[in-house]
Each structure stands twice: as C-alpha cells, then as structure tokens.
C-alpha cells in the first residue's frame, strides 16, 4: 500500500502547480527548475532530496507563495505523530503562514495549516477554526476544488466526533469498568456486563453526523466528482442504512468512468446491502482492478481467513496453484451453486469494502483491511453489538485516557475489544485480545452465520459408493441424497410446490452441472424426498455437490458436498467396492445384478431407528474360482459403538437381531459384536460378484457406529476391507 500513498502524494503535489498556473503566478528565474526537480524527487520517494531542493528554492525566493507552499506541504505530509517531528511541523506551519500572508486569497495554505493543527492533540479545536477561515477564503475565491477540499476537512472533523460517540454506552453501576482481560477469560462476561451494568445513549453524535453530511454534500455541489467528499458522505449514509442514496452519490463517478477503488468498493457495498448482488459483483470487480497488483493480491489472499497453521502452506503455493486453491475454496464456500452469484465471496468482499470505508485513513497511513478491526470484520462480519466507553480517568486503568470499544457477536459469545485515542480513526486490540483473536482464528477462521442464504440452507444427508465401471479404468459413482422436505417447507403456506434437484461433479473449482431434476412436492410433507444418481467417472479427484432449491419458498434450500477419489483398479487382484447401506431388501432367487439393477433403495440418511433392519450391498472383484468354476468367500461384519448417546439409559443387550446366511455370532469385546459367514457362487462369465446381507439392530443403544466389512477370497487367501459409519436413533 506504500505505493498507493506515494501516488496520492504525487497527485497532491501536482495539483497546487496547476492552481498556480491558473493564477498566472511566475517564479523567479531558476526557482521553477528547482521546484520541478523537487517534485520529481518526491514522486520517486526521495523526500530528503526533494526538501533540500525546496530549501534552495526558498533561499532564492523567500516570499514566493508557491515555494513556501510546496516546502511546507512536503514537510507536513512527511511527518508522523512523534515528538521528534515537532520542529518539522513548526517549520511547516511558519512557511505556510507566510504563504497565506503573501497570498491571502488562496485557501490551500490555510488547509495545510489546519491539517498540521488537526494532528497536534492540544490544537485540534484551533484546526476547526482555521478550516472555517479557509472555507470563507475558498468561497470568496470561487475556486471549486479548494472549496471541496475544505468541506471535506471540516466534514472529517464532524464525522470523527460522530464516530467517536455514536456507539457510546453509559455504565450505570458506579465504580465499575469494563475489563478486557476478564472478557477474554469468561465466556459470558460481555453479555452479562452489557445487560446488567450499561445502557446505550440514544442519538448521541447525531448533530455532528448531520453537519458532516451537509459539508460533504456542499463539497460535492462544488466539485461533483470529488472522491474524498463522496467517500465521507457514503460512510455517513451507510450508518443510516441509506443504501439507495449511496448509489445515487456514486452514479456520476460510474457514468464518467472515474472513481477510486475505495469509492467503487463502497458502491459495491451499498448495492450488496440493497440486495442487488449482480451490481455488487460488478462494482467489486471494478474496484479490484483499480488496486495495485500488490494490493489486489493482498485483498484476494485467503491468508487472513484460514487457520494460521495453514497459512505457511498456502503462502508456499505457486501463483497457479494458489489461483486454483482460491477458486476451489470459494466454490466450496458458496452456499448454493444453483444461484447465479457466489454469496460467500460477495460477503467477504463486502466485509473488505466495509473495513476500507470505515477504517482507511490516508493521513494516518492506515489501510482499513489491514487494521485489527478490519481483520475481525473479514473473518466474522460487521459486529452485531458495538459498545464504546468514554476515556477512563482511573489511575490504575490500562486504557487510561483512551476510548474502549467492545465488539460482541451474541450468537457465538465472541468478544473483541479495541482501544484508541479519542477523535482519531485508529484503534488496536486491547489487553490480550490479539492472542484471543488468534485462538478464535484456529477455532473458526471464517464464518458466514450472518449471511441469510447460508443460514437458511439445510444440511442434506447423503451416501456415496464407488463401484467398478463396465469398461477400462472408469468407475461408477452412485450418489444418494435425502432432502428433509418437512423441515424445508415448515413455514410454507402452500398445497404443493416443485423442488429442483441438481448434481454437480468435477475437480475442485471446476465442477459442472451433470444432472438436474424437478420433483413435485405435496404439502404438508410428511417424509423426506429421496433421489439417486449414477455417473461413470474416469480416474481423478472429484468434488460432488447436490443441491435442492425451491425458488418460491425462502427456507426451501439444502445442500451436501463431498470430495472423493476415483482410483485405477488393480486388474486381476482381489478387491471389494464401497458398501452401500439401503432400506431392507429381499434378494432375488438367482445371482444379483449390479446395484442399480437390484432396485435397492439407498438409505442416504445413514440413520436407523432401534430395531430397524437395513441391508448392506457390495461387490467383489477378481475372485479366483475353483476347478468347478465356483468362488468361495469368507465374510466378517463387525459393528462397533464409536460414541454412545448418553442422553438415554438403554443397555446394549443385542446388537444384531438377524443376519441373512448367519453362521456364527461372536462377541469380540465390550460394545462390539461380529458376524462371520461364508458364501459360494458360480462365477460364470461375470467380472464381479455382487452380494448383500441384512442386519437387524435390535435394541442397540442410540449413538454413532462403525460398520466394518472384511472379505477373504478363500482360493487366493487375499483379504479386502471397507467401512462406513452410521447412527442409531432412539425409538
């Protein structure tokens, strides 16, 4: 971002020369060359050399207002709020005052004097007085650019005061202070403190807000495409949720093809909050194009919204790999691919735009999305509750003399506390909050719980199984999904509707729509809507996503997503497929055909009631037949209770009620049972031997279970295994 500030300095340094030319100011011989060289050095970032050249010009022309201005300007703009910079500021002030005496009808000298006063803590009130004087001079001169600049400076003063007080809370319990350390240690401290010991102060700062708005509008009337005034006005309007007015402010810039990246970010934010997602997407992209390459890479980097433990690996990616990773990340984060926009990425860019609008400050060398507050906004969104407390005078307070601002996210009981100087748009983490933020980052690096479309998307249970394809290296992937129709339509006042089901498959970031179906729904719905797909896939890594959406019902949306590998089969080596758990199925008298030909109904939920029976289907490959052409298989099914539902008091009395072709039942250890049996079949011309068995759960306790299938080809002695988890619910 340093480059951006250098460019801003160049623009500001060039502007006064143009104004001087308009007033027919003529420099003494040789002085104009020194000034031009100084400006070139400043543009190149060599401030020291530029100041030496301007000092020489000042010695040759001690009363030239342009030389006085350029030297005073560069001195003031190249200092910071440090004790060692006081002499430089004092010299800048003397030079600018002299320029104002020589050229009293030019407001630009007073503007810079006011800025010096503004950033000197004890002289801020005087700064406003100087800006008021500059306003009168600008009005008398009739120079629209100077009038716009002065209006912006005065508007900034008013807006800072408003921002400093608008979220102010009054502590109603005498002697109490909000303790950041305690807030970091006690989960419910912030909620309890705000509810029991404070109350918000209504309408505080509203007068300053109204005055700031009028000053910004006045500046825009003087100069309709004055970027700074437009940004100031957008910030004020955003607090009032006046999004359409924000878009009206930006419209002249868009029509003229002008406007900074900051302005277009703010315009995108307004469009996004107003529900115009396509416009927001266009504006955000145009803002990104106006950033430098370094800035754009920084904004688009996932580093701030992934775990710190993952950031090193992410940083080590090549540009091409990082681009692919970014695309895959946002594809996975998108709540619904069936909608035209990626709401997750738009929400992230809206957060970046908010941080830029609210916390960026050129004078403070501050970039909004880099600040502590900007990082928290990027991860968790705008805080639902903001409470600021006036500067403490308590001698033992760590934040003595500083404003304390609390951000509270009630749904997750997350608290972040910041501290900053009064009337300055600058704040950092208070106390140990930086460590708290890093801990929270590991737990939840990026949340979208404030995004309505994400909050309304239901989780869709699914089950997937890989079987060998009919030819070559292809595999058949069977995907079963169950839409919780009663839940999706719980608030719908309809008799019937239509649910759109879509299946997308592909490499991450390159998924394609491969199937789309519509299913009529009669309401009220009493059971889940189930659907099964089958796709032939070559070897590769795939992301699979199923979505259900009813555009006529706001709450009717669900999705499921998984990543799966299709590997090349080892031809001639015994192997088995995945298991598919299905509703109870009675097998035909003869040999089984492929899964889809059996007519078995997959149990996508993988959740069974106590006493419920279900069937297990799998396929065996490359079995070795005996001399009669028959294959002999040993089968073991092991069921293990992984995590018991402790809410009930049921006892594990019987895990398996009945097993087809049951040979023996052996108790392996506590809470685990195993079933062993044998099968033999004629292989014939088949390249696989499908098999199934049925399991009854009896009164098994509620909880999560692991089902393991271990198959041995008795002829070769080779063993293959697979497993799947499922749940048992209480009756």
Tell me the pLDDT tens digit for each residue of 654-674.
Answer: 333 333 333 333 343 445 567
Tell me the pLDDT tens digit for each residue of 321-375.
Answer: 999 999 999 999 999 998 889 999 999 999 999 999 999 987 777 899 999 999 9
pLDDT at 642 over 90: no
The pLDDT of residue 392 is 61
pLDDT at 589 over 90: no
What percentage of the chain carries pLDDT values higher than 70? 89
The pLDDT of residue 214 is 97
d(CA 564, CA 476): 12
Tell me the pLDDT tens digit for each residue of 481-540.
Answer: 999 999 999 888 888 899 999 999 999 988 999 999 999 998 888 899 999 999 999 999
The verdict on residue 41 lying in a domain is no
Whether residue 469 sits in one domain with residue 426 = no
Whether residue 137 sits in one domain with residue 106 = yes
Q: Are 459 and 560 in contact (CB under 8 A)?
A: yes
Could you tell me the two tokens for 317?
């990616």
The pLDDT of residue 455 is 79
Residue 388 pLDDT level (bands cut at 50, 70, 90)? very high
pLDDT at 117 over 70: yes
Residue 18 pLDDT level (bands cut at 50, 70, 90)? very low
The pLDDT of residue 422 is 74
Question: 């060359």: which residue's tokens?
Answer: 33
Mean pLDDT on 397-422: 86
Tell me the pLDDT tens digit for each residue of 144-181.
Answer: 999 999 999 999 999 988 998 899 999 999 989 999 99
Whether residue 525 sits in one domain with residue 385 = no
Closest to 721 measured CA to CA, from 665, 638, 659, 643: 638
- Weakest-pLDDT range from 109-118, 499-508, 650-659, 697-706: 650-659
Whether residue 521 sits in one domain with residue 378 = no
d(CA 702, CA 692): 25
Mean pLDDT on 376-388: 96
The pLDDT of residue 731 is 66
The pLDDT of residue 23 is 44
**Average pLDDT score, the chain:** 87
**Is residue 627 exposed (0-12), middle (13-18) or buried (19+ Cβ within 10 Å)?**
exposed
Containing 678, the helix (H) or strand (E) segment is strand 672-682
The verdict on residue 348 lying in a domain is yes
Whether residue 232 sits in one domain with residue 152 = yes
Whether residue 420 sits in one domain with residue 519 = no
Mean pLDDT on 618-630: 95
Q: Which domain-ending residue is among 400, 422, 453?
A: 453
Q: What is the CATH number of the domain that holds 711?
A: 2.60.40.3880
Mean pLDDT on 118-146: 83
The verdict on residue 503 lying in a domain is yes
d(CA 662, CA 674): 11
Whether residue 219 sits in one domain with residue 84 = yes
Question: 């497929």: which residue's tokens?
Answer: 577
The verdict on residue 274 lying in a domain is yes
Whether residue 354 sits in one domain with residue 231 = no
Tell me the pLDDT tens digit for each residue of 58-97.
Answer: 998 999 988 989 998 888 888 765 445 678 888 888 898 8
Number of domains within the chain: 4
Q: Which domain-ending residue is among 315, 341, 370?
A: 315
CB atoms within 10 A of CB 41: 19
Cα distances (Å, whole numbers) of residue 439 to 329, 370, 390: 22, 19, 28
d(CA 199, CA 413): 19
Largest pairwise CA distance in the chain: 115
Whether residue 560 sits in one domain with residue 591 = no
The pLDDT of residue 655 is 36
**Is residue 417 exposed (0-12), middle (13-18) or buried (19+ Cβ within 10 Å)?**
buried
Between the CA atoms of 101, 107, 112 and 115, what dihedral angle is there, to the nearest 10 degrees? 120
Residue 699 pLDDT level (bands cut at 50, 70, 90)? confident
Whether residue 532 sits in one domain with residue 421 = no
**Is residue 35 exposed (0-12), middle (13-18) or buried (19+ Cβ within 10 Å)?**
buried
Q: Are 38 and 70 in contact (CB under 8 A)?
A: yes
Mean pLDDT on 283-306: 96
Containing 299, the helix (H) or strand (E) segment is helix 293-300
Mean pLDDT on 130-142: 89
Q: What is the CATH number of the domain that holds 538?
A: 2.60.40.10
Tell me the pLDDT tens digit for each residue of 531-577.
Answer: 999 999 999 999 999 999 998 887 789 999 999 999 998 888 999 99
Strands 719-729 and 703-713: antiparallel
- Weakest-pLDDT range from 136-145, 259-268, 461-470, 625-634: 136-145
d(CA 559, CA 382): 26
Closest to 8 measured CA to CA, from 325, 228, 297: 228
The pLDDT of residue 121 is 58
Whether residue 514 sits in one domain with residue 498 = yes
The verdict on residue 110 lying in a domain is yes
Q: What is the CATH number of the domain that holds 108?
A: 1.25.40.10
Side-chain-side CA neighbours of 121 within 13 Å: the count stands at 9
Residue 402 pLDDT level (bands cut at 50, 70, 90)? confident
Strand order in the sheet with 672-682: 607-609, 719-729, 703-713, 630-644, 672-682, 664-669
Mean pLDDT on 117-142: 81
The verdict on residue 486 lying in a domain is yes
Closest to 624 measured CA to CA, from 721, 709, 689, 569: 689
pLDDT at 10 over 60: no
Q: Which residues, 6 or more positions from 323, have their beta carbon under 8 angstroms from its beta carbon?
A: none
Strands 540-549 and 575-576: unpaired
Q: Are 235 and 208 in contact (CB under 8 A)?
A: no
Question: 């050399």: which residue's tokens?
Answer: 49
Mean pLDDT on 406-428: 90
The verdict on residue 6 lying in a domain is no
Closest to 358 measured CA to CA, from 420, 293, 434: 420
The verdict on residue 189 lying in a domain is no
What percentage of the chain carries pLDDT values higher than 90? 61
3-state secondary structure labels for all residues of 149-160: HHHHHHHHHHHH
Q: Which domain-ending residue is among 315, 338, 357?
A: 315
Q: Which residues, 6 or more positions from 336, have their beta carbon under 8 angstroms from its beta carbon?
A: 343, 453, 457, 547, 549, 557, 559
The pLDDT of residue 84 is 54
Q: Are 182 and 444 in contact (CB under 8 A)?
A: no
In which domain, by residue range, is 309 found? Answer: 68-167+202-315
Side-chain-side CA neighbours of 388 within 13 Å: the count stands at 22
3-state secondary structure labels for all residues of 374-407: HHHHHHHCCCCEEEEECCECCCCCCCECCEEEEE
Whether residue 155 sits in one domain with residue 274 = yes
CB atoms within 10 A of CB 169: 21
Could you tell me the two tokens for 685?
């011309």
């Amino acid at each position: 971002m340093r480059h951006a500030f250098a460019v801003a300095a160049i623009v500001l340094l060039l502007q006064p020369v143009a104004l001087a030319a308009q007033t027919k100011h003529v420099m003494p011989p040789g002085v104009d060359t020194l000034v031009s060289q100084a400006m070139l050095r400043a543009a190149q970032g060599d401030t020291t050399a530029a100041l030496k050249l301007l000092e020489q010009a000042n010695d040759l022309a001690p009363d030239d207002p342009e030389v006085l201005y350029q030297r005073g300007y560069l001195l003031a703009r190249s200092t910071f709020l440090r004790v060692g910079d006081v002499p430089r500021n004092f010299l800048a002030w003397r030079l600018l005052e002299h320029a104002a005496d020589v050229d009293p009808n030019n407001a630009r000298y007073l503007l810079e004097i006011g800025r010096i006063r503004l950033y000197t803590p004890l002289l801020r009130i005087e700064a406003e007085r100087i800006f008021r004087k500059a306003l009168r001079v600008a009005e008398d001169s009739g120079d629209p650019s100077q009038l716009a600049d002065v209006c912006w400076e005065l508007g900034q003063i008013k807006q800072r005061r408003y921002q400093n007080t608008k979220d102010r809370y009054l502590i109603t319990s005498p002697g109490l202070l909000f303790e950041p350390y305690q807030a970091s240690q006690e989960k419910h401290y912030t909620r309890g403190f705000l509810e029991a010991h404070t109350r918000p102060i209504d309408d505080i700062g509203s007068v300053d807000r109204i005055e700031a708005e009028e000053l910004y509008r006045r500046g825009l009337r003087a100069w309709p495409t004055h970027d700074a005034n437009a940004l100031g006005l957008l910030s004020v309007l955003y607090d009032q949720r006046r999004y359409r007015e924000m878009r009206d402010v930006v419209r002249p810039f868009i029509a003229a093809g002008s406007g900074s990246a900051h302005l277009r970010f703010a315009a995108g934010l307004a469009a996004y909050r107003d529900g115009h997602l396509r416009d927001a997407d266009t504006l955000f992209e145009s803002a990104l194009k106006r950033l430098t390459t370094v800035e754009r890479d920084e904004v688009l980097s996932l580093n701030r919204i992934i775990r710190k433990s993952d950031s090193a690996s992410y940083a080590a990616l090549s540009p091409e790999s990082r681009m692919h990773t970014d695309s895959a990340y946002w594809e996975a984060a998108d709540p619904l691919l069936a909608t035209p926009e990626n709401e997750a990425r738009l929400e992230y860019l809206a957060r970046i735009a908010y941080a830029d609008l609210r916390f960026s400050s050129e004078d403070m060398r501050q970039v909004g999305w880099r600040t502590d507050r900007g990082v928290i906004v990027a991860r968790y969104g705008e805080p639902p509750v903001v409470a600021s407390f006036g500067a403490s005078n308590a001698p033992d307070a760590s934040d003595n003399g500083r404003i304390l601002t609390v951000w509270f996210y009630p749904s997750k009981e997350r608290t972040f506390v910041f501290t900053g100087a009064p009337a300055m748009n600058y704040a950092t983490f208070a106390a140990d909050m930086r460590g708290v933020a890093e801990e929270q980052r590991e737990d939840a690096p990026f949340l979208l719980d404030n995004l309505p479309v994400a909050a309304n998307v239901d989780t869709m249970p699914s089950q997937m199984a890989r079987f060998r394809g009919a030819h070559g290296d292809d595999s058949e992937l069977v995907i079963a999904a169950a839409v919780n129709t009663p839940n999706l339509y719980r608030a719908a006042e309809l008799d019937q509707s239509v649910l759109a089901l879509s299946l997308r498959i592909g490499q991450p970031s390159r998924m394609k729509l491969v199937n789309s179906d519509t299913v009529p729904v009669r309401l009220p719905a009493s059971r889940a809507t189930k659907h099964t797909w089958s796709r032939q896939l070559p070897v590769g890594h795939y992301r699979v996503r199923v979505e259900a959406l009813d555009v006529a019902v706001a709450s009717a949306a669900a999705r499921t997503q998984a990543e799966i590998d299709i590997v090349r089969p080892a031809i001639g080596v015994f192997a088995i497929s995945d298991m598919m758990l299905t509703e109870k199925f009675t097998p035909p008298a003869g040999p089984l055909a492929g899964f889809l030909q059996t007519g078995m109904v997959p149990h996508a939920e993988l959740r069974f009631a106590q006493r419920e029976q279900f069937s297990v289907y799998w396929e065996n490959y490359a079995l070795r037949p005996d001399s009669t052409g028959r294959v002999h298989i040993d089968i073991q099914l092991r069921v293990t209770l992984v995590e018991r539902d402790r809410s009930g008091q049921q006892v594990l009395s019987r895990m398996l009620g009945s097993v087809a072709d049951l040979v023996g039942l052996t108790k392996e250890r506590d809470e685990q049972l195993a079933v062993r049996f044998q099968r033999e079949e004629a292989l014939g011309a088949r390249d696989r031997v499908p098999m199934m068995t049925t399991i009854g759960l009896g009164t098994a306790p509620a909880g999560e279970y692991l089902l393991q299938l271990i198959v041995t080809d008795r002829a070769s002695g080779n063993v293959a295994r697979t497993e799947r988890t499922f749940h048992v619910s209480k009756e």
